[in-house]
Amino acid sequence: MSKQKTKKKTPAAPTHDHSRDGHDPALVGCVHTLLQSIGEDASREGLRKTPERYAKALRFLTQGYDLDPKEIVRKAMFTESYSEMVIVKDIEVFSLCEHHMLPFYGKAHVAYIPNGKIVGLSKIPRVVNCFARRLQVQERLTDQVSATLFETLKPLGVGVVIEAYHMCMMMRGVEKQGSYTITSSMLGIFHDDRRTRQEFMSLISRPRV
């Protein structure tokens, strides 16, 4: 389940030219064509504004392409002597599977052990959201979050676990509504030291306060 690497480069994100401000005629036109191709009347009342609505929604759901996750971390790094584990758990994750463009959703649990620097707590969910708001696979999303924190904050280690339900498995294909996927990425001391991993896994499995 965990990635057997001590350090890795942040996986490169695809380059996209997204029009996010105002009307996007190309995307709206594509949605209009899509509606027609499935046999719908794109001009009927209920669908008349659907191309614009869908285009706006898709731009929102993929806004992560416009964000720099490393810059999010750099702007909120502080010198601090604290040297024990920091965990932000139960971070809500909403993303789109790149294979079918259907949603997957769940929780992310992120931990790091500082090495002279800490990061503002809210920035960890922001980093998760930055990568989640793209076309994704859960495995890469997990790696990107861990690698970004490891490379930018330079802690002793980073651990990331994501648990998610995938609509592409639930509402189509095998149609297994109860199945969910767990991925993990352990870097630094989280990878090298079994006790550190066990502490992390134990803490995130505890009931909420």
**Which residues form the catalytic set?**
97-100, 138, 166, 168
User: Residue 30 and residue 33: Cα distance in Å, rounded?
Assistant: 5
CB 148 within 8 A of CB 140: no
Find the Cα–Cα–Cα–Cα dihedral 143, 144, 147, 148, rounded to 10°: -160
Tell me which residue of 163, 150, 181, 131 sits closest to 12, measured CA to CA: 131
Token pair in block for residue 49? 């504004």
25-37 vs 50-61: helix axis angle to the nearest 10? 120
- In degrees and rounded to multiples of 5, residue 7 shows phi and psi of -145, 145
- R_g (Cα) of the chain, nearest Å: 19
Sign of the alpha-carbon dihedral angle for 37, 40, 43, 46:
negative
d(CA 42, CA 105): 30
